[in-house]
Structure 1
Amino acid sequence: MDVNPKSGLYYMTGGFYIVIIFLLGIITFFVSPHLAGAEILLGLSLCVFNYIYKKHKEKKISDMFEQMTLRIGSATHNALMQFPLPTLIVESSGKIKWYNELFCESFAENHLYDKMISEVIPELDTDKIFLDPPVPVQTTLACNGHTFRVFGSQPQNEEKNSIVILFFDEITEYADFKQKYHEERPVSCLIFVDNYEELLESTANAFRPHLEAQIYKRINDWTNEHGGVLVKYEKDKYSVLFQYRYLEKFVANKFEILSQIRNISEGNTIPASISIGVGTCGRDIIENNEFAKTAINMALGRGGDQAVIKDNEQLSFYGGNSKEYEKSTRVKARVVSVALSGLIENANNVIVMSHKVADVDSLGAAFGVYRMCRMQDKPVNILLESYDQTVKNMLDRLENVEEYSGLFLNVQQAAARINGTTLVVVVDTHKPSLLEAPSLLKKAGQIVVIDHHRRGAEFIENTALIYHEPYASSTCEMMTEILQYVTKKISLTKLEAECLYAGMVVDTKHFTFKTGVRTFEAASFLRKQGVDTIAIKTMFQQDLSTYIKRAMIIKDAEIFRDHIAVSSYNEIEENIHITIAQAADELLNIKGITASFVLSKTERGVNISGRSLGGINVQVILEKLGGGGHMTIAGAQLSDLSIEEAREKLYQAIDEYYLETVN
């Protein structure tokens, strides 16, 4: 319908002439009233005509827009009816208000008007559709063996019951292909037999071939059962390639191959076990293989007999509940001794660093490094800023010894002496977050790590040498073995030998836990260096108040799951962590108790010290709370929690552990 573009001009000029006529009428009224009356009558006639004409024009425009709207609505309706995708209009209340034929065909439904969408498509998550404020809809729907990409929009509408237009694009073929690709992705797996040499030595010659054959057979059967490809590339090392679909089964079964290997009995006096490293979700098979190498190193570093899965986001641990067995060979200690001597020789100076709140094991190991450096006339210092009471007792004995004057540095002093030619030796920890000054590692020329704690996900990077032996009783034992293979004949001072010996005493609980043949051999070597065992006992003496606190903690212990003792100390005190650790040890002396946990309040939260006789893996339990340690000795720190809240979390972690180990 045409519209006269001059209409607006008419409205303007018509009104103008009417005003002129009225003005003329007023002026001529005083000259000729009759003429003025005629002029005013003409003006009124023009006003009436102008009003009628304006209304007529507005109606014509309104009719035009109404017809245009009807045409557009009809076009939109036809477009929706003929749209090549299933289409649905639904109110925010969930009632279906319109749908096309393709929707009926896709969902085998008819007569859907005013039905609830939740009845027609119960699989559709309506929370992702009706949003406030409205946003474009984008979700996926799996229904009756088909997969749809659901998209649409919710127009801005102030009405209480607004509408949403939904389109259903079937992507079943794409989804199936994607799922197939996901399931068939290659996964790299490395399997190492733990303590292979020691395992064979524990087996009579006549049974060794049977033992080796059984290990291979069970690994091979496990691989074939899951469609994998097995390659034995060394006598105790295997590589496996399998599809991702089987990994979920392994996880659900908690890698049953671990227990199958442990159950092998072919005359071996120590149980057979394997470590498994799995790499998945990498960019390609090469990255998966690198992930598998990282995972197997982690499994070995945590004591073996477990599986570790590494993807591009995290590490997951399974197993690790068996007792660690000592390695009888000292080949690695000999190799490390030579390598460490070379690194010391090439450095301008050496800084020895340990964890925060240093204990006597870290101090003893630091003295071992100190003696190696002094034998090579290399400047060496020990970074020591925070430490426990036992270390303080040792430092009091060193105070007046001239040789150790200026040996110990605080963080600021160490930062001033470290540079690109400095060798930093980290002892008794491998976690950067536990170091006294982790920022100093970035300034060091080279880094060495010597530690006996079971490996966690966090590890110091860019190291020149790693001596990580979770089978060892203590870092002092490891350092003592290294000293025995130094080219020159070693000569420790009495104080240095006693500090190394004291470190072994602490970590073995007076040669009770994790004590093997090599532990006693190291202790024997130190005894020959002049260790006074009475002086060692004196070093660990405590005052009466500490003894009473420990007795109170033991008195307040609760028994959980029949044989786990749990107690706590609610006062914030300096060095209370030592007291709770000792109380946890003492609780194991109670008949029927196989594991113990003691909690203490700190300014930041709660500390937990865990101990075990070996049947329960306290490390696995406390790892669930962010802690770590060994199978029989572990700890954790929980921030911003009360004792009661931390105790509840501990009980939950113990329950989870039992659920995992039983199943």
Structure 2
Amino acid sequence: MCSSCSCRTAPTYWRLSALWTECSKRARASCRMIKPNNPGGGYIGPTGKDMFMEKKPYAALVPLFVAALAASAALALFLKPLWVGLLSAALVVACFGIGMVIIGARWRQLQQECDDIFLENSSAASSIINTIDVPALIFDDSGRIIWSNEAMDEIYSGRDIKRILPSLDTHAPTQATTLEFNGKAYQIMCSPIKREHPSAHKLTFQYWLDRTEALHYTRLYEENMPVVALIYVDNYEELNADKQFQRNSVLSEVEGLVSKFTSSIQGTYRRYENARFFLIFEAKYMDALEKERFKLLELAHAIDTGTEQTVTLSIAVGAESQVAHSDESARQAMELALGRGGDQAVVKRGTNYAFFGGQKQIALTRQSRVKARLFAKALRQLMENSDMVFVMGHKNADMDCIGAALGLMRLSQCANRRGYIVLDESNATIEGALDSMAESKQYHDCVRTVEQALQLIRPTSVLVVVDTQRTSSVLSPQLYNKAAKTVIIDHHRRPVDSLSAPTLNYYEAGASSACEMVTEVMQYFADGLKPTPFESSALLAGMTMDTKSFAINTGARTFEAAGFLRRSGADTSMVKLMYQDDMTTFRNRAKVVENATIMDGGIAISTCSKDMPNNMLIAAQAADALLSIKGIQASFVLAETPGGINISGRSLGQINVQLILERIGGGGHLAVAGAQLKDISINEAVDKLTDSIYSYLDEIGADYSRS
């Protein structure tokens, strides 16, 4: 029986011993793992000591004692003699009492050791955070500084954080912000402090990191970044075609200017073609170049060429973090500068462009027709290798757009391909032409909406975009992106948001209209090809509209194209009928002209209300009519539409309306331009336009008084 009793009571004793040992180990581990309450960590709450004190390892003895006592009672009831069970119960009670006494004594010893550890760690943490060379402070939700270390006191000894950070929201401070204070740059970090009691005041721990030296080296790195520039004599071909051109002396003078320009910015250059230069210099000189607006452009105009033409330069600058990227950006900027007519500087940084010069520049039509002939040949091959041809213009199509589209329809028929004109809604400008098309069987079922075109177009189809190259102006960017083969024909200056990656393009900023360009291509597309009298009249109407009856932006090739159309059967009376207005339109146009406001510099501004019928057409006509008034050099008419505000700009040539409207998202030519503004009122649009006009006048040095 004794052996049996030993077997049943011994496990209880060893369990108590093991439990006491485990409790001792955990208590020591808790003391070793305790960390001081660190204000820099953004936490004020129960300390490690508090958490340690909450642990009660002796509580585990209670259920064990109850279980052992129950086992002893069972022995006393079922085993004989009775004293064996009673002895077991007595041993259990004795072991429990001894264990409680030993654990209690050890627990008090551990408490004393932990008190010493926490006291030492708290003092060390307080000393470190107070003497560390990082400004730190704690403020409440009213902005009152309730604690700051020595480094913070050296910077600011006040007690209100809002005096140095007036924009700081003390209730919800941002985690990181920057500040320049006492000649240094700081990055300020904030962290909310968790309080033990929910009703306690909200506190925020803040520390300041000195970033002055880091920003200094960052600025040095940015200033020393390599910048690539390209300089072209963009009218070299026109100059060289003149027999009076003094080629050697002109190129020598141009290189002298480039050499002097490069020396002034501590750079280096190489001449790699007759009239092209490659430059590299440091980015720190960019601010000075932009401030003086690349005066090299004006210096080149003073070179004597021996002809009536002046030397015009196109300057492209790419400013990126690597030389290869800067070179690529410079080439993209040069493509844009040439597409905008040249005689200007374009700076590209990342995706942003800056333009300088070109205020009074009018792109000259090239004398050579080689480009038109090569494009016509490539376009025919592309059409013949396609199953259908779709022609799309810009939103709110005009006669230049419709006339060019009809000319391209003639080219698609010559290539034996089915052609469609993609159009949204009709308007008063093109209503007459569309009515004539509807009456003719030849053009039956050739007009499609955007939705219909999206369903019809195939990977083997070709899409031709005419009279625009802007993503924001094209009728349907979705249709352009869906087309596998795309062609762009446009006479406007190259915009920043131009349609990307066309299969074939024909840009001619010197052309008067898209109709002129299509007419030239038609003459080289196939031998003996001529448009019908109606198509010829539509093409001539488009040219007449864009040139304001051959008065603006008209060159020799414009009249040659008009002569070809006249020989092909263009009816001038039909052209006149296309521009006839009803009495209501005439009266509304006169009202808009009458209400115009004349600014300094001969710039007129007027508006069309949204309840005026055909207000977009009236705006364009009123802008043209204002130029016939003596003393007006440029005109802008704003039309209020459900989608926003449309602006029509016109000029006699002294003021560049394209540059003015480009600042507010528009584009076009020096003499004819437009813009579309969304989510803006008519008064806000007038203010925005006025600011752009004054900014332009400041750039060209015009004398005016701003009221």
TM-score by length of 2: 0.78
Q: How far apart are 1:71 and its partner, in Å?
A: 4.0
Which residue is equivalent to 2:546?
507
Alignment of 1:594-613 (within 5 A): 594-613=633-652
Instruction: Provide the C-alpha distance between the structure 1 equivalents of 2:249 and 2:56, rounded to a whole number of angstroms.
Output: 105
Report Cα offsets for 1:637-657 as digits up to 9, x if no partner: 222333222222221111111
Q: Is residue 401 of structure 2 the alignment partner of residue 353 of structure 1?
A: no
Instruction: Provide the C-alpha distance between the structure 2 equivalents of 1:5 and 1:440, rounded to a whole number of angstroms.
Output: 75
Instruction: Provide the C-alpha distance between the structure 1 equivalents of 2:158 and 2:620, rounded to a whole number of angstroms.
Output: 69
Contact 1:96 1:114 in 2 (8 A): no
Instruction: Provide the C-alpha distance between the structure 2 equivalents of 1:423 and 1:539, rounded to a whole number of angstroms.
Output: 30
Q: Is residue 127 of structure 2 the alignment partner of residue 78 of structure 1?
A: yes
Question: Per the alignment, do residues 437 and 174 of structure 1 end up closer, same or farther by CA in structure 2, a change over 3 Å counting?
Answer: closer
Instruction: Provide the C-alpha distance between the structure 2 equivalents of 1:165 and 1:395, rounded to a whole number of angstroms.
Output: 71
Bigger shift: residues 471-480 or 142-151: 142-151
Q: How far apart are 1:162 and its partner, in Å?
A: 4.4
Q: How far apart are 1:527 and its partner, in Å?
A: 1.2
Q: How far apart are 1:552 and its partner, in Å?
A: 1.0
Other structure's SS at 1:485 match: helix
Instruction: Provide the C-alpha distance between the structure 1 equivalents of 2:60 and 2:484, rounded to a whole number of angstroms.
Output: 89
Instruction: Provide the C-alpha distance between the structure 2 equivalents of 1:611 and 1:479, rounded to a whole number of angstroms.
Output: 24
Choose which of 167, 188, 200 in structure 1 pairs with 2:228: 188
Which residue is equivalent to 1:99?
149
Choose which of 443, 456, 480 in structure 1 pairs with 2:482: 443
Contact 1:195 1:327 in 2 (8 A): no
Question: Per the alignment, do residues 114 and 7 of structure 1 end up closer, same or farther by CA in structure 2, a change over 3 Å counting?
Answer: farther
Contact 2:173 2:190 in 1 (8 A): no
Alignment of 1:248-263 (within 5 A): 248-263=287-302
Q: Specify the code of the residue in structure 2 equivalent to 1:368.
A: G
Q: Is residue 692 of structure 2 the alignment partner of residue 657 of structure 1?
A: no
Instruction: Provide the C-alpha distance between the structure 2 equivalents of 1:357 and 1:7, rounded to a whole number of angstroms.
Output: 88
Contact 2:190 2:204 in 1 (8 A): no
Instruction: Provide the C-alpha distance between the structure 1 equivalents of 2:446 and 2:159, rounded to a whole number of angstroms.
Output: 83
Instruction: Provide the C-alpha distance between the structure 2 equivalents of 1:610 and 1:539, rounded to a whole number of angstroms.
Output: 22
Q: How far apart are 1:402 and its partner, in Å?
A: 2.7
Instruction: Provide the C-alpha distance between the structure 2 equivalents of 1:300 and 1:6, rounded to a whole number of angstroms.
Output: 85
Other structure's SS at 1:506 match: helix
Question: Per the alignment, do residues 424 and 555 of structure 1 end up closer, same or farther by CA in structure 2, a change over 3 Å counting?
Answer: same
Which residue is equivalent to 1:305?
343
Instruction: Provide the C-alpha distance between the structure 2 equivalents of 1:397 and 1:589, rounded to a whole number of angstroms.
Output: 31
Q: Specify the code of the residue in structure 2 equivalent to 1:391.
A: I
Q: Specify the code of the residue in structure 1 equivalent to 2:137.
A: I
Alignment of 1:29-428 (within 5 A): 70-81=119-130, 83=132, 85-89=133-137, 91=139, 93=143, 97-100=147-150, 125=165, 127=167, 131-134=170-173, 136=175, 138-140=176-178, 150-151=188-189, 153-156=191-194, 162=203, 164-166=205-207, 168=209, 170=210, 172-201=212-241, 204-205=244-245, 207-281=246-320, 284-324=322-362, 325-428=364-467
Q: Is residue 468 of structure 2 the alignment partner of residue 429 of structure 1?
A: yes
Question: Per the alignment, do residues 127 and 553 of structure 1 end up closer, same or farther by CA in structure 2, a change over 3 Å counting?
Answer: closer
Other structure's SS at 1:198 match: helix
Which residue is equivalent to 1:19?
none
Question: Per the alignment, do residues 73 and 199 of structure 1 end up closer, same or farther by CA in structure 2, a change over 3 Å counting?
Answer: same
Instruction: Provide the C-alpha distance between the structure 2 equivalents of 1:421 and 1:409, rounded to a whole number of angstroms.
Output: 18
Contact 1:576 1:600 in 2 (8 A): yes
Q: How far apart are 1:152 and its partner, in Å?
A: 5.9
Q: Is residue 566 of structure 2 the alignment partner of residue 527 of structure 1?
A: yes
Report Cα offsets for 1:248-269 as digits up to 9, x if no partner: 2222222222222233344342
Bigger shift: residues 229-238 or 646-655: 229-238
Q: Is residue 607 of structure 2 the alignment partner of residue 580 of structure 1?
A: no
Question: Per the alignment, do residues 9 and 368 of structure 1 end up closer, same or farther by CA in structure 2, a change over 3 Å counting?
Answer: closer
Question: Per the alignment, do residues 435 and 159 of structure 1 end up closer, same or farther by CA in structure 2, a change over 3 Å counting?
Answer: same
Contact 2:601 2:633 in 1 (8 A): no
Q: How far apart are 1:520 and its partner, in Å?
A: 0.8
Question: Per the alignment, do residues 154 and 607 of structure 1 end up closer, same or farther by CA in structure 2, a change over 3 Å counting?
Answer: same
Report Cα offsets for 1:209-245 as digits up to 9, x if no partner: 3322222222221122112221222223222222111
Bigger shift: residues 73-82 or 225-234: 73-82
Report Cα offsets for 1:104-125 as digits up to 9, x if no partner: 8xx6x7xx76577799xx7xx5
Instruction: Provide the C-alpha distance between the structure 2 equivalents of 1:134 and 1:166, rounded to a whole number of angstroms.
Output: 13
Report Cα offsets for 1:126-155 as digits up to 9, x if no partner: 646x6423565x455656776555546453
Contact 2:131 2:149 in 1 (8 A): no
Contact 1:421 1:445 in 2 (8 A): yes
RMSD: 3.4
Instruction: Provide the C-alpha distance between the structure 1 equivalents of 2:212 and 2:502, rounded to a whole number of angstroms.
Output: 50
Question: Per the alignment, do residues 376 and 180 of structure 1 end up closer, same or farther by CA in structure 2, a change over 3 Å counting?
Answer: same
Instruction: Provide the C-alpha distance between the structure 1 equivalents of 2:187 and 2:622, rounded to a whole number of angstroms.
Output: 60
Query: How many residue pairs end up in the alignment?
Result: 602
Bigger shift: residues 581-590 or 343-352: 343-352
Question: Per the alignment, do residues 114 and 492 of structure 1 end up closer, same or farther by CA in structure 2, a change over 3 Å counting?
Answer: closer
Instruction: Provide the C-alpha distance between the structure 2 equivalents of 1:644 and 1:366, rounded to a whole number of angstroms.
Output: 36
Gapped runs of 5+ residues in structure 2? 1-48, 63-107, 703-707
Other structure's SS at 1:599 match: strand
TM-score by length of 1: 0.82
Alignment of 1:620-639 (within 5 A): 620-639=659-678
Bigger shift: residues 217-226 or 463-472: 217-226
Report Cα offsets for 1:256-314 as digits up to 9, x if no partner: 222222333443423322222222235x3222222222211111112222222222232
Instruction: Provide the C-alpha distance between the structure 2 equivalents of 1:610 and 1:293, rounded to a whole number of angstroms.
Output: 31
Q: How far apart are 1:368 and its partner, in Å?
A: 1.8
Other structure's SS at 1:518 match: helix
Gapped runs of 5+ residues in structure 1? 12-58
